[in-house]
Amino acid sequence: MTIGTKVAPFSLKPWFSERVWGKSDLKPWYEETGTTELVGEAWLTGPQCLVESGPYTGQTLASVAEKMGGEFPLLVKILFPADKLSVQVHPDDAQATAMGETRGKTECWYVLEAEPGATVALGLKPGVGAKEVAASVESGTMELLLEHVPVSVGDMLFVDAGTVHAIGPGVVLLETQQTSDVTYRLYDYGRPRELHLEKGLQVMKSKTEAGKVAPRKMDGFTRLIEQKYFVVDRFEISSRSERTVSFAGAGCLVGLTGSGVVRTPDGELALTPGRAVVVPRGDGDVVVETKAGVSFVRCVAPV
């Protein structure tokens, strides 16, 4: 978002999205979700997430961003699949605009948990096009056309717009994406949910840049991915130390393990697993301090 007013970093309360493929128990990430329904996604920087600190406490991220003259550019989530997600595809910006949407949806997945043998589907097998996909949806065989990629903890996967993809059970993923929920469902294993086959076939691409991304060691952190819409870095801070974390664009910090605090001009904010601290101004530094060790990611929308 384009900020006209200086605003200190603030904490957000996760918003839990009910999904048929989700879980009833999200421990150890969350003790309670506030619902008895299956939860598939914890939105950490969703437009409806409530601010928990500072002068905007109780307001939604969307309303705060609007006051500042824009929209928060990244939607960060944690996904908790207990069953297969539908096979789906997202448009790129140009395709989305042509279809009357605000923007496309390019995303990435960072693997937080993975059972032995866990896989995700990322892209189509060579030679597969719209005709083959349409026929496989009709025959119920679409899974056979997908490239299934084994995953383990610490893997980062780029999900380029236009990539046909799906997520299976046995993983927990941190997803960083454009702030968009434009999803075209191609195939859903016979579940009685709406498909968007016509639009999906229009925007799917037989070949994209999707795939695993090798981490890069930087000065004091690990760069997990660097793309047009987002940069995601992982930090590990040992016990009783502090680290200055720079932002060159609006973004957030998301706690993964351990605990720490983010020092701001207005005081200190807790940095704990599964919760986001938003840094709305992308032209400065924050200091993260820990007494017992903490790991976290920095998600930034490049300016």
* 5, 51, 121, 253, 280 from 70: Cα distances, Å: 11, 17, 34, 20, 11
Residue 216 has pLDDT above 80, yes or no: yes
Phi, psi values for residue 77, rounded to 5°: -135, 160
What percentage of the chain reaches a pLDDT higher than 90?
89
| Nearest residue to 166 via CA among 182, 152, 149 | 149
Give yes or no for residue 1 having a pLDDT over 60.
Answer: no
- Sheet containing strand 294-300, edge to edge, reads 50-51, 10-13, 276-279, 251-258, 294-300, 231-237, 222-226, 216-217
Cα 31 to the center of its chain, rounded Å: 21
CA–CA separation, 120 vs 168, rounded Å? 6
**Mean of the per-residue pLDDT values of the chain:** 94
Quick one: tokens of 132?
Answer: 């083959």
In the numeric block, which tokens belong to residue 296? 């976290």
pLDDT at res. 283: 66
pLDDT tens, 222-261?
Answer: 999 999 999 999 999 988 899 999 998 899 999 999 999 9
- Give yes or no for a contact between 73 and 1, defined as CB atoms under 8 angstroms apart: yes
Q: CA-CA-CA-CA torsion for 71, 215, 182, 64, nearest 10 degrees?
A: -20
Alpha carbon distance 251, 246 (integer Å): 10
* Phi/psi at 43 (5° precision): -85, 120
Where in the sequence numbering do the catalytic residues fall? 185
Q: What is the pLDDT of residue 68?
A: 81
- Least confident interval from 68-77, 92-101, 133-142, 275-284: 275-284
Model confidence pLDDT, tens digit, residues 122-181: 999 999 999 999 999 999 999 999 999 999 999 999 999 999 999 999 999 999 999 998
Sheet (strand 284-290) strand order: 241-247, 284-290, 260-264, 267-271
253 and 296 in contact (C-beta within 8 Å)? yes
Give the pLDDT confidence score for residue 22 in this predicted structure.
Answer: 96
User: Quick one: 107 exposed, middle or buried, by C-beta within 10 A (0-12, 13-18, 19+)?
Assistant: buried
Q: Write out pLDDT tens, residues 59-87.
A: 999 999 998 888 999 999 999 999 999 99
107 assigned ligand-binding residue? yes
Is the pLDDT score of 3 beyond 50?
no
The CA distance from 230 to 241, in Å, is 28
Is the distance from CB of 202 to CB of 95 less than 8 angstroms?
yes
The token pair at 232 is 């995601």
Domains of the chain: 10-213 (2.60.120.10), 216-300 (2.60.120.10)
Residue 10 scores a pLDDT above 80: yes
Q: What stretches of 97-192 adopt beta strand conformation (E)?
A: 107-114, 119-124, 146-150, 156-159, 165-167, 171-178, 184-187
Q: So what's the pLDDT on residue 223?
A: 98
Contact yes or no for 147/119 (Cβ under 8 A): no
pLDDT band of residue 5 (cuts 50, 70, 90) is low
Distance CA 81, CA 21 (A): 6
The amino acid sitting at 15 is W
Give the pairing type, strands 119-124 and 87-89: unpaired
pTM for this one? 0.96
